[in-house]
């Protein structure tokens, strides 16, 4: 656990009461020998009137361990099963064990890919999930590797027919067409469902 600050507090202990009690004895009582208890109280009161104690104080902040990142509050507890919103562009999701989540996250609108510690989502892109695509794979053949998702301006998966680029005929230099791909109900591209819409 991360201690952010150490505060030293002064505490008056009960031994002081024993000292006061000893000082209020009458003259006749003062002549009497001390009992073992009275002697112990006097010794404790003389040497332990004031003692210092150390109190751990925590502050909000990130803590990383072997499992991942967690966010600790000033009371020493962690954010769990919640979302911390830092700004309009940044937010952080935590699971029920208190660890920062990364990857696909579903809310009331749909699915988005969260970037973890960066606090942001991928947006306005064709998002690829899978092993690196081998070098030399050309054009639309790359869509047969891994999984591809079309993410809108807010980062949500899109479904149905989506335009993802320009197209041109092999014997022409001008880009005068549009490439459209179909994304299923889970937002995954179906590479074989492809069409070109020509503008001429």
pLDDT tens string 117-171 = 999 999 999 999 999 999 888 878 899 999 999 999 999 999 999 998 877 777 7
What are the residue ranges in the chain where pLDDT is below 70?
A: 1-59
The pTM of the whole model exceeds 0.75: no
Tell me what pLDDT residue 103 has. Answer: 94
CA distance 84 to 93: 7
Tell me what pLDDT residue 5 has. Answer: 41
Query: DSSP per residue over the chain, as a string?
Result: ----EEEEEEEE-THHHHHHHHHT--HHHHTSPPPHHHHHHHHHHHH-SEEEEEEEE--SEEEE-SS-EEEE-TTS-B--SEEEE-SSS-EEEE-TTSBBP-EEEE-SS-EEEE-GGG--B--SEEEEESSPPPTT--GGGGGGSSEEEEE-TTSBB--EEEEEEEE--TT-SS--EEEEEEE-TTSBEEEEEEEEEE--
The CA-atom distances, in angstroms, between 47 and each of 2, 34, 50, 56, 96 are: 34, 18, 8, 26, 50
Tell me what pLDDT residue 176 has. Answer: 74
Tell me what pLDDT residue 198 has. Answer: 84
CA distance 26 to 83: 69
> Contact, 96 vs 70, CB < 8 A?
no
């Amino acid at each position: 656990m991360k201690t952010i600050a150490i505060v030293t507090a002064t505490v008056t202990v009960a031994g002081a009461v024993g000292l006061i009690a000893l000082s209020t004895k009458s003259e006749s009582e003062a002549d009497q020998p001390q009992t073992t208890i009275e002697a112990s109280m006097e010794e404790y009161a003389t040497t332990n009137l004031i003692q210092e104690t150390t109190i751990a104080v925590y502050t909000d902040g990130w803590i990383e361990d072997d499992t991942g990142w967690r966010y600790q509050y000033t009371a020493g507890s962690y954010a769990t099963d919640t979302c911390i919103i830092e700004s309009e562009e940044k937010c952080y999701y935590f699971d029920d064990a208190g660890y920062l989540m990364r990857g696909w996250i579903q809310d009331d609108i749909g699915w988005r890919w969260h970037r973890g510690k960066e606090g942001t989502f991928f947006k306005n892109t064709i998002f690829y999930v899978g092993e690196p695509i081998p070098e030399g794979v050309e054009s639309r053949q790359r869509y047969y590797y891994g999984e591809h998702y079309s993410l809108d301006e807010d980062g949500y998966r899109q479904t149905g027919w989506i335009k993802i680029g320009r197209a041109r005929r092999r014997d022409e230099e001008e880009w005068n067409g549009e490439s459209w791909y179909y994304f299923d109900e889970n937002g995954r591209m179906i590479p074989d469902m492809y069409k070109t819409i020509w503008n001429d």
